[in-house]
Structure 1
Amino acid sequence: MSSSQTPALDGVEFTYDWYERALVWLSDHGYESSSFEGDVGDGDLLLRHDVDLSPRKALEIGRIEADLGFRSTYFFLVSNPLYNVFDAVCRAVIDEIDALGHDVGVHFSTHQHWSRRPSPEELRERVTSERSALSLAAENVCDPVSFHCPPEWVIDRTFDRLATTYEPRFFSEATYVADSGQRWRESHPFDTRLSERVQLLTHPGLWGETDLPYTERVTSSIDENVGYAERLLTDQHLREKFDPPVELPEREPAADR
């Protein structure tokens, strides 16, 4: 596979437009989206999204991918203090992501459960419990799990009866490219030659209609989630009639929120 840049991809911007152009670039260079639940072959592009900050932005990216014919996997953090997967709006987001043809899975935080390395049995049991919980909010939950802020002991390792996105076939045996901390500003994701198979990880909360630096983007996502919780709790406790909002988010307007 070739990795020479096109002018359209010079200089990374954390915008939906740049992400869309990156997908087109990958398609033009012979890559096709694949799933973490199937066999991995040459030309496979594994699109992974760890939903740490913003389900709404996850849906926005999912719509872009579907419009281009791409399939990806969205991993939701069940233990997230910022959003609630059982909230009506979040469930509607998950439902549409699934309806668009994408996979939904568990983004598992070992740090919420242990300060030590658990046994494989303990790990498998906790992951299974969170997968069961997510299945109450999502009609279809895939088997593979994505680790949140992964400890070293999960990297490039295969677990018995537990599929993960850090298995060698998805990690060391592929080109692994991640936008963590918006690191692509300093190191272009396609500067080095890509292998025959690629795992591309993004965090939807770091992206938007306009380009914003990492700290501002994270702060904006926090403010959005806190504002939603404030409005919801105000409706529940300070108004005479409670009518929970369940409408799906519209496509994001020109100004980033």
Structure 2
Amino acid sequence: MDFMLSKYGELLIFLRDNYDVYTVEKYLAEKPEKHFVILRHDVDRSPKNALKMAELEAEMDVRSTYYFRYPYTFRRETVEKIAGLGHEVGYHYEVLSKARGDPEKAIQMFKKELEEFRKIVNVKTICMHGSPLSKYDNLELWWHYDFREFGILGEAYLSINDPEICYITDTGRNWGNRHNIRDKFIWKSINKPVKDTDNLIHILSEMKPEKLYLTVHPERWGYSSVSWVAGYVRDFVFNLGKQVLRSVRE
């Protein structure tokens, strides 16, 4: 079945064998010119799935970035274990949504939540959470403030500004953008339908893009039949809700 952790392992083999794999922090620090993939994980739900994925990557000598939401997926033991495996841990902020659009209130939340992360790990990069049910865009916090004032090297959307990068995400349990409500980016995308992960590997093998940026959500990738079914049902319900929300907004 697709979206099993074993299938993700096949994708990892392809990426590892054809690209230099970068965390977000490492990419921003080194700015490679080509033959790279930035590998990012948004831990929106299920820290347990995130740990399983992080362990698989470490076994394959791959290091990636894990962004945790506070307090929803922020689990001290899990964060420590993933960081201990050599992965980058970052802050998946959604404070403007929590503050109902009040930037002053939101930045105070941001500082407080960032401090909680830094009690465990040295957070150097951040990434906004899309909060699809909210009318507020968390990126707009930086219209009013500068994240660099908090010792942050970069933001996973705003700071990766190479338009030649090919961006791919598993949002909505597919490798396209059909269920992607919030993400706005300047990067390229695959201009053809992608049926499944095997097809994605095939397309990338043919296209041979020199610059890749992958966002993968660990809760979507089952490590057992039970966890796979749970992820499938959750994605079905969320995708249906997004379709209704998109129709209402339009």
Q: TM-score, normalised by structure 2?
A: 0.66
Is 1:142 aligned to residue 123 of structure 2?
yes
Coordinate RMSD, CA, aligned:
3.2
Give the alignment of 1:207-218 within 5 angstroms: 207-209=221-223, 210=225, 211-212=228-229, 215-217=232-234
For residue 238 of structure 1, what is the aligned residue in structure 2?
A: none
1:178 deviates by 0.9
| Whole-angstrom distance in 2 between the partners of 1:133 and 1:152 | 23
* Alignment deviations for residues 115-146 of structure 1 (CA, whole Å, 9 cap, x no partner): 36x48xx766543332112223x2x2322111
Count of aligned pairs between the two proteins: 195
Query: Radius of gyration: which is bigger?
Result: 1
Q: TM-score, normalised by structure 1?
A: 0.64
Is 1:44 aligned to residue 36 of structure 2?
yes
Stretches of structure 1 lacking an aligned partner (at least 5 in a row):
1-11, 220-257
- Percent identical pairs in the alignment equals 26
1:113 deviates by 2.0
- 2:175 is paired with a residue whose SS is helix
| Whole-angstrom distance in 1 between the partners of 2:208 and 2:107 | 32
Which of 84, 93, 116 is matched with 1:133 structurally? Answer: 116
Which of 199, 203, 214 is matched with 2:217 structurally? Answer: 203
Higher share in helix = 2
Say whether the 8 Å CA contact 1:45–1:197 is kept in structure 2: yes
Is 1:154 aligned to residue 135 of structure 2?
no
The code of the aligned residue for 2:22 comes to: S
Query: Structure 1 residues 95, 213: CA separation in 2 closer, same or farther (over 3 Å shift)?
Result: closer
Which of 17, 20, 31 is matched with 2:9 structurally? Answer: 20
- 2:214 is paired with a residue whose SS is strand
| Whole-angstrom distance in 1 between the partners of 2:220 and 2:65 | 17
Which stretch of the first structure deviates more once superposed, 94-103 or 178-187?
Answer: 178-187
For residue 60 of structure 2, what is the aligned residue in structure 1?
A: 68
Query: Structure 1 residues 165, 124: CA separation in 2 closer, same or farther (over 3 Å shift)?
Result: farther
Stretches of structure 2 lacking an aligned partner (at least 5 in a row):
177-192, 237-250
